[in-house]
Structure 1
């Protein structure tokens, strides 16, 4: 599936325990050398890519507005507020998003729908599954505390004081507050060994991070009640960003000399993607360090890679 870094929309926009990894399900092919497809610009502005689906449709933000890239063409999504990003897309081409100042929306076939229920205004829409169910946060009228919501078929349901991060096709909702947990049918199942959850796939597997004794940040895969630390490239910070339905996990890992490399965790291996054509950092002092943000079931990757001598990046599809 797709999946961007699990954090509040404000952080996204501002930033533009076992030790061996378990095997992924059968069907995972060899790791390729990736070909890069730059997504281009819109009105002269460079975009940031946040998510993609299995049709290689990519969404993100460009010139303070959400965009959809498909079949080599980038279109701006109209009818949203400023500083709103498209954060997720499903296989039906439905797009959701939001921003630091609110403005949660659902876009489908050229129509933008604000996500709200009466006077209750949605803050952001974090994820959408293939059933069209949307999760995010909103502020109930007269209440300064953010609540989680589930939106489906025009109805916004208050889930209480939780913070949804992702939702799979089984309707399982991954939440980060009040603790890392899966919400299903009104019940929370705690994810022991997982500090900050990032994404959930359709098998119910969850990826996220945990802080270990030496304060290093480690990537963790949770499945069937068990948390497993994934491998490293020798550094102290590992950050998963996505998991697909083959159990492949995408993210970044620092090397012993401090470089940030994109990695694919698969079949018990930590695969460095730099030799395979994805480079996020070329100098230790580089002002902008790119990121890998989405992974689909074809193994294709959405990323933002550095432009030479620039603070910005190039939204790129690697396939």
Structure 2
């Protein structure tokens, strides 16, 4: 299988961590329920391909996301592969945290909103009240010694409210980090970000004491900007990039949100730049081709298509 020609880019880091979201964010919007055995094999194949950080599932109410109703079954099926600080699960509230703790999970994520409309639709809350909801979850998680990630959605634009002021996003991010989160993930939920916008937001966060070393970025590819935005974030010091194997994903609460940045597309670019990811690209492409077969449609990833002949 062809590999990118290695031409190291001046100023590029030695290594970037890929935070793989395919098993959770990638599958959550699928209309047909994916069997838990397929999900478990998907996770194991991604781990075998060298993806060390894999977000497995979400302990959300089955009424809201039916695809993830099997969260406990999946963690149980994975056994030791589901444990450790590099196997996070999403926990929307204390009930979700209880379920995660009962199963021995040691890494969790909470999911907030930078805008009122999305907070209402996704969390049945307001921007202000979401912190009251997350505070006991975060405190208990840290008291239990868990690694905690804080997602903030709609950081670059909202389908109902339009442009989102950077100061508004920074205020929400700062409040989320004040809860004790170890990492902040900036969500471009509807894929409207551009590299200049990424730079301005990172600079504003730095001014509030949230450095790029504590930040991850999560771009959707609605306008074809996800890879460019990710590379700009890396240039500015971000070292963790969210991506989804095969480009799977969307958001069930934002209809304009299309697939995530494809992990293979990111790996191709980074390996060509001389940046290590630990990922075996051939094995990952084979995994995404296999998963596409399970879903009954081709992968949207350009690299997967190019390397698999699909």
Flag whether TM exceeds 0.5 (same fold).
no
In the superposition, the TM-score normalised over structure 1's length comes to 0.36
The structure carrying a bigger helix percent of its residues is 2
In the superposition, the TM-score normalised over structure 2's length comes to 0.36
